[in-house]
Amino acid sequence: MDRIAIVGLGPIGASLALALRKSGLSDTKIVGTDGSRERLSAASKAEVVDDTTRNVRSAVEGARLVIITSPITEFREILRAIGPNLDKEAVVTETGSNKVQALQSAEELLPERIGFVAGRPLLKRAPDDAAGPDGSIFHGIDYCLVPGRSAPPSSVSVVTSMVEAIGARPLFLDPHEHDSYAAAMSHLPMVLSSAFVTATSDSNGWREMHKVASTEFATLSDLSSDDPVDTEATIRANPEALVHWIDQMIAELRTYRDEITSDGTELLDRLIRAWENQARWEAGTVVPDDGPGLHSTGVTLASTMLGERLANRYREITSGDEKKSDPWKYKRKR
């Protein structure tokens, strides 16, 4: 019987375990380990794994595949702990957002015989802690894979098969390429979220102002609620690229500031461009598809694929005389 060990049963780890269990893997045992008794208990009750243990060393013994989903602050400690207990043909992967650092740590701390493939699910929605593990969050997403320099083809094949089993698409990237992109797409939002909270909560009017904080505040401040120690370690791992994107954001905010105080159309143009680019990203149409479009599929299919908000936009744009309009092009109000 094959054995898969998942180290870390937080929202991502538990959801990944559930996705693997529902993928129909035959003759495979999934073992979960975590330092938290509460997470172990929750995983057992939700039946996302076949067995649980707090001992990470025993969890990985005999495992063909080890998936580390723990925070970056625990990664090196975990590698040190599991190295001597790994099977000679074991494959190790992880789900963090810093690939250069992960590969360097694996090369330093894992035995040479172990195949290491860095990985990361590029989720478009996070699992809901209150609702519990959700294996569907991996369906149709890109899953970044960055093989280590000494990883044999068989190791890459094992992790690729895992990615495909949970319904995701393998996306192979160079580690430096990935980290430069992650600085903009993942780490910059962390900084912006925390900066937004400190800018508002440190103001003299915070005691009164916080009373009108609503969904907008909750949405933008959400990332600041992550563990500060883990966040610091994540954003310090690639400082040069992140500082570049912070400078880009400062320049963009200055442009918005100037346009807000002007009477021209530049602000609306910029807001429309943001609306269109976000809609295309959400719908997966950033890169134009030369195949059949969605225009003839109707609102029901649009609702299923794109979500209610974009389906409503699709309905609005394709009504009347504008059925051939680009559904991701904002229709200006007259």
225/245 Cα distance (integer angstroms): 22
Average pLDDT, the chain: 88
Q: Quickly state the pLDDT bin for 167 (edges 50, 70, 90).
A: very high
pLDDT at 127: 81
Short-list 140, 139, 144, CA closest to 122: 144
Domain 175-261: CATH architecture, name and number where available: Orthogonal Bundle (1.10)
Q: Quickly state the pLDDT bin for 291 (edges 50, 70, 90).
A: very low
Going from N- to C-terminal start, the domains of the chain cover: 2-173, 175-261, 263-334
Q: Could you tell me if 64 and 9 are in contact, meaning their C-beta atoms sit under 8 angstroms apart?
A: no
309/113 Cα distance (integer angstroms): 50
List, for residues 81-123, the tens digit of each pLDDT value. 999 999 999 999 999 999 999 999 999 999 999 999 999 999 9
> What's the helix, strand, coil split of the chain in %, to 5?
55, 10, 35
pTM for the complete prediction? 0.83
Structure tokens at 334: 């007259």
pLDDT at 290: 54
Task: Kindly state the percentage of the chain with pLDDT values over 90.
Answer: 77
List, for residues 309-319, the tens digit of each pLDDT value. 454 554 554 45
Instruction: With residue 29 as reference, give the H or E element that holds it.
Output: strand 28-33
* Domain 2-173 is found in CATH 3.40.50.720: yes
Q: Which amino acid is at 269?
A: D
List, for residues 11-24, the tens digit of each pLDDT value. 999 999 999 999 98
Q: Quickly state the pLDDT bin for 245 (edges 50, 70, 90).
A: very high
Q: Which amino acid is at 207?
A: R
